Structures are given as structure tokens and as C-alpha cells.
Structure 1
Amino acid sequence: MTPNDDLPGAVPDPGPATLNVDNTPAPPGTPPVAAAAPAPSAAASATHSVVGLEPVLEQFAREYLRDRRSDRRWRSFFRLIWLGIIALFAWFLFLQRHHTPSPSGPHTALVEVRGEIAVDTEASAENLLAALRPAFEDHGAQAVVLRMNSPGGSPVQSGIVYDEIRRLKALYKKPVYAVVEEMCASGCYYMAAAADEIYVDKASVVGSIGVLMDGFGFTGVMEKYGVERRLLTAGENKGMLDPFSPVSEKQRGFAQAMLDQIHRQFIKAVKDGRGKRLKETPETFSGLFWNGEESIKLGLADKIGSLDFVAREVVKAEDVIDYTPKDNVAERLAKRFGAAIGEGSVRAMRGVINLR
């Protein structure tokens, strides 16, 4: 019992004071509010978050590494596939480029002479000799046919082929026929003159027995724009035919004498090859050319005929086997778009002797 319980009019003891949640005094008789639990600290929350992320990051890392390994395996697989394809393609091209027909039954051996006659072209002496020798050596080859379509080119390359044809003819005792398609001019005709007979189409272009050296001179342009040429040489004629220097009469005469000598070599080869069939006129060796029909009248060719005609009616062996080495695609592209451009630029800058 409290001291005030029995006193009349006594006010009941309100008990201990209480506060509202917002710390304001609560009205008397309000039941006490339980104290709120203390909020977790920021460090504890961060630790809990990191602990929760660890499994996710670990899973992500495992998946990432698995994907990377898979990508590497597939890349390695496809690289091996491509390497295999490239190796097979290169091997196929190698076989195609170096394939020589195997000995066979009676047939006509074909050697193609196409395009410009020069080093590193399809009609180079190296390529043609690589075809001519196995063609003559093959016991099944009844004759060798040169199918020709060329405007000419290097007198050196043409002379090498001419001499080799004559040597192989004497060694193997096999006939050689030249069959002209569109054109057989200059250096191409130089080669054809070594054949036993020359067959043409009525409209073929034949002849052009001459030699030329072409180039450009830029001395006038240089004078106009005030450009000075500084050319140092050891030797009076070392800079001969330099396109940026004038040509002296002495140098011009020397170059002309050299061309005349090569022309005489060409004329001798034609006369030796054609013999009495050649009906020489003042224009025969002037560099003119004629159609196939007229060339027969002049003794530059023998008859009208195609490859099939010669194989069937002359050689009597209709089966034709091509002995010509074939350039692969890469070589052709390199020559056409690379070497050909560079060679053309050099020829434009300096004189080059050609039979065309």
C-alpha cells in the first residue's frame, strides 16, 4: 500500500513518465512503448552484401572461363580446317603447275604460245622449253604442234626457243607444226620459222619481221618547268637512252646499229626456216604484216588449217595432249596486277628492244 492510498481525494500515482516515439511526453496512462531495436551498422550491411555477391561472382567467373575455353577450342578448330584447305589448294596448284603428261599412246603433242614473249610470262623461253622437251621425249607423241597467238616480244626469248626447236627436231626426228590463231607477229613468227610447216586462218595476222626500241624523252618538259637533270656517270655512254637526257647523234647511231644487227639475225632465222618457200620482196622484212591468205602467197605460211585439222589430217593422231605448264591463279594475279604494271612503267621510262 502506498502512502496516499487511504487518503480521501488522493490522486492516483501516474507511475513513471513515458515518452512517445518522437520523444514527446506521452499522456498519463499511456502504456509504455517498447524501445525500437537498434539499426544495423553500415559496415555490417556492406559485409552482408559482399558475402551475398561472392557466389554470384564466382559463378560468373566460372561461366566466363568456360566460354573463353570454348571459344579458343572453336577458333583452333576452324584455323586447322582453313590451314588444311589452304594446304590442299596449294598442293593442287603445285601439281597443276608442274604436271607433265605421262607417256601415252599415239597422240599430237600441243605447246601453247600465248601473249607477250618475255621473261616471267606464259610465253617465256623457260616455260616453252619446259613443255617442248617432254613433248619431244614422249614416244607416243607423233608430232609437236605450236598453237600460236602472240604479238611478239623479246628477241632473246624468241631466239632461245627457235634454236631449241631446231635442236630437238634434229635429235628426235619428229615433225613440228605451227598453227596460228589470231596473230603470229615478230618474235612469235621468229619461233614459228623453226617449224616444218606453218598453218594459218585466212584472217590471221602474220609477219612484222622487224625490230623496235621504244621509250619516251622528257627533256622538253623539264626545260619548260625549269627542272634540272643531275646524272653522274663513269663512262661516256653509261647514261645512254636516259629519258631525262638528250640523245646524241653518236648514241642514236650506236642504238640503230644494234637494232640492225638484231634484225639481220631475225631475217637469217626466217630464211633458214622457210628456205625456198619464201618469196622475198622489198617489203618482206620491212616490218609489215599480212593476213593469213596473203602470207601463204608470200611464202610466210604454208596452208590454211586449225589445230584439229593438223592433228587429224596431217599428224594422223586426233588425240591432243597439252604439255604447256599452266600458271596458277595467284601467279597470274601477281603478274597481271603487279609485275606487269612495274614492267610497263620501266619500259615507258627506258627503251626496250622488242620484236613486235
Structure 2
Amino acid sequence: MNTKRWIALIVAAAVLGISVVINSAFAFLQGSFAESIDEMMATTQSSVSEVVLESGDIDSRVAVLNVEGVIQDTGNTSSLFGTSGYNHSFFMEQLENIKEDPSVKAVVLAVNSPGGGVVESAEIYDKITEIQEETKKPFYVSMGAMAASGGYYIAAPADKIFVNEETLTGSIGVIMQSVNYGELAERYGVDFVTIKSGPYKDIMSPTREMTEDERALLQEMLDDSYESFVDVIEEGRDMTEKEVKAVADGRIMNGRQAVEANLADAIGFEEDVIEQVKADYDLGNAEVFQYGASEGWGSLLSMKMNSFFGNDIETQMISKLLTEYSSPRMMYLYGDK
């Protein structure tokens, strides 16, 4: 190996070591110090607040729930350079509040998401259908710029789905991806040693080629999740399996095409959806509100550190490389997370 490659490896190792130290120290500060303060404050404030969007009858309200970003449970942790995004436990808490609050008469679900995890999407779907069955509260969906794959999965049980003409939706299907860098590592003299208890324990390893048996096992899993996705649309949109599978091949479509395929009901912006649910359920004087998170010290610390280091694209890329857990998983997802 020549001098330049040795220098590159040393620099890479140094950067990795520094990032581990920094993230560990930050995790300690945020996880120990911040969480202890948040726990002390928990008795005096709720983790969920309300923001009134339109004043009206407080006993007859319309709740607006926002799903923004990739739908996955990241454990609600923040890195040193972390930015705010979708918070799965917080969103599930909002749904529980909707179920238990008798003043909420209808819900507008505003979705702007490329989808996300199979498990998280199913959890949201199950909770929405539970609320519909037990409380009879209507759910109307307002799709934003994107409501694809898992973003459509969680919208499927809605009473009505509205799209913009330029909404990117569809992408019905399941995907699982990994990166194979074995050949690259071999080129630089990196040798991976694996000791495993069974032949499939390192399935989808990034250091070797996948076997046909492994591919067949994974394909069966994905096919099961795909059929579940199709069933959700069949039930939610009152379509036949043949009708769903005609467009459930991973293709994306715009709002007009979604309406023509019966995956959506009409064209409209979020304010149009709110007015429509009011008109359909005689809620003309209803208060319209959305939930917000009460910021704890941990969140504030993350925001301050992010502000200090900046939020440029290079910082975001470094954060993605250093902090994301990259183990392959099944996703209802369009594009790269």
C-alpha cells in the first residue's frame, strides 16, 4: 500500500475516533443531564401542547395531525448535529389523545412523507382503524408534496383522501437494501472475520455476496409484507385485489393519476380538506388545532448545538454518515431515506 493510502486510512480512523468520542460525550450530557431535568419537570407539564389554528367551538373540534419525513422510530435520540424530524412515539401519543378526547369530532391527517418502516407504518394504520371503529371519528387525509409508499399506507384507511395535482404518491410495495463493500475493502487490504452460529446469521452482510437461498428467504418476507399492503388498500379504498395490483408495482404517480386510479378522492390543499370535513360533518363552527411538543432540556440542548455548528448540507451529510443505524430492514419507502 502506498503512502497516500496509508495517510487516507489514518485520517479516516482519526475522524471516526473523534466522532465516537464527541457523540458519546454528547449522549451522556443529553441522556443523563437533560433527561433528569425533563423527568423533574414532567410533573408540571405535558409532553403534548395544543396550538389553535382557527378559533371556534372548543367542544366541537377538528384536529390536524402532521406526518413529516421518514416514518421510523429512531428511539427519539438526537446526535450532536441532529435536526428535528418525525417523532414516532410523539405521533402515537397524538393519536391516543385523539381517541380519548371527546371534544375532537374529526381529524385531518396532513402527510408529507416518502414512507418508512414496515412496523411503524402498520402501527399507525392499526391505531387509526382502532379510533375509527371505537369512536366513529372521521379521518380525512391531505397529501402534501409527497405521500408515497408508507405515506400512502397510513392514508389508506381514511374516509377521504385529497391530493395536490403535483403530489408524488403511489410507490406501493416493499424494499430492503444494503451496500456490499467487500470488494472495496479487499482492495485496501481489509479482512473481515465472521464467527456465526448458523448459516443465515450474517444474512445481507455488506462484506460478501448474497446466496440464492438467502435471497429466497428475504423475498418471501417481502412478499408477505407486500400482500399486507395490498390488503390495506383493498379494504380502505374498497378496491379489488386486481385493481390494487394493477398499480401496486412500485410506480409513482401524481395527484391526477392517483384520483384516476381511485387511490385518492379529490384535488385540494390542506385548507380545502379542513373546510370539506367541516361541511361533511356539520362542524362549521369547530375549533381547528394541532398538537405541538413541549420542548424539554434535551431538545433545547440539541437545538443549541445544532445552531452552533451550523445546518449546512455538509454538516447534514456528516451527521447522516456518523449517526444513522444502517442495518438492513424492510421498508415501505420511496427513494433514499
Query: What percentage of aligned pairs have identical amino acids?
Result: 28
Gap regions ≥5 residues in structure 2: 1-36, 77-84
Which of 40, 56, 61 matches 1:107?
Answer: 61
Gap regions ≥5 residues in structure 1: 1-86
Give the C-alpha shift of residue 218 in structure 1. 1.6
In 1, are the aligned partners of 2:51 and 2:292 still within 8 Å (CA)? no
Q: Which residue of 1 aligns with 2:10?
A: none
Q: Which residue of 1 aligns with 2:288?
A: 320
Q: Which residue of 1 aligns with 2:23?
A: none
Which of 119, 142, 145 matches 1:179?
Answer: 142
Which amino acid letter does the alignment assign opposite residue 132 of structure 1? L
Question: What is the TM-score when the length of structure 2 is the normalising length?
Answer: 0.70
Q: Which residue of 2 aligns with 1:23?
A: none
Alignment of 1:275-290 (within 5 A): 275-276=238-239, 280=243, 283-290=246-253
Using the TM superposition, name which of 252-261 and 161-170 deviates more. Answer: 252-261
SS, match of residue 276 in structure 1: coil
Give the C-alpha shift of residue 293 in structure 1. 1.1
Q: Which residue of 1 aligns with 2:266?
A: 303
Give the C-alpha shift of residue 289 in structure 1. 1.1
Deviation string, structure 1 residues 259-288 (Cα, Å, up to 9, x no partner): 111111111111111113998265411111
SS, match of residue 136 in structure 1: helix
- How far apart are the structure 2 equivalents of 1:214 and 1:243? 10
Which amino acid letter does the alignment assign opposite residue 107 of structure 1? R
Q: Which residue of 2 aligns with 1:200?
A: 163
In 2, are the aligned partners of 1:177 and 1:197 still within 8 Å (CA)? yes
- How far apart are the structure 2 equivalents of 1:224 and 1:342? 23
Sort the Cα spacing of 1:330 and 1:297 in 2 relative to 1 into closer, same or farther, 3 A: farther
In 1, are the aligned partners of 2:230 and 2:245 still within 8 Å (CA)? no
In 2, are the aligned partners of 1:277 and 1:299 still within 8 Å (CA)? no
Q: Which residue of 2 aligns with 1:260?
A: 223
- How far apart are the structure 1 equivalents of 2:303 and 2:118? 23
Which amino acid letter does the alignment assign opposite residue 219 of structure 1? G
- How far apart are the structure 2 equivalents of 1:340 and 1:283? 36
Of structures 1 and 2, the larger Rg is shown by 1
Which amino acid letter does the alignment assign opposite residue 291 of structure 2? Y
- How far apart are the structure 2 equivalents of 1:232 and 1:98? 46
- How far apart are the structure 2 equivalents of 1:313 and 1:225? 61
Which amino acid letter does the alignment assign opposite residue 243 of structure 2? E
Which of 251, 255, 267 matches 1:292?
Answer: 255
Q: How many residue pairs align between the two structures?
A: 265
Q: Which has the higher strand share?
A: 2
Sort the Cα spacing of 1:292 and 1:278 in 2 relative to 1 into closer, same or farther, 3 A: farther
Which amino acid letter does the alignment assign opposite residue 246 of structure 1? E
Q: Larger relative CO (CA 8 A, sep 6+): 1 or 2?
A: 2
Give the C-alpha shift of residue 258 in structure 1. 1.1
Q: Which residue of 2 aligns with 1:355?
A: 332
- How far apart are the structure 2 equivalents of 1:260 and 1:109? 35
In 2, are the aligned partners of 1:125 and 1:160 still within 8 Å (CA)? no
In 1, are the aligned partners of 2:139 and 2:160 still within 8 Å (CA)? yes
- How far apart are the structure 2 equivalents of 1:261 and 1:123? 26
Q: Which residue of 1 aligns with 2:200?
A: 237
Give the C-alpha shift of residue 331 in structure 1. 5.0
- How far apart are the structure 2 equivalents of 1:333 and 1:155? 33
Sort the Cα spacing of 1:264 and 1:283 in 2 relative to 1 into closer, same or farther, 3 A: same
- How far apart are the structure 2 equivalents of 1:270 and 1:330? 42
In 1, are the aligned partners of 2:71 and 2:117 still within 8 Å (CA)? yes
Provide the aligned C-alpha RMSD in A.
3.2
- How far apart are the structure 1 equivalents of 2:103 and 2:139? 15
Sort the Cα spacing of 1:355 and 1:331 in 2 relative to 1 into closer, same or farther, 3 A: farther
Deviation string, structure 1 residues 171-205 (Cα, Å, up to 9, x no partner): 11111111111110111111001211101111111
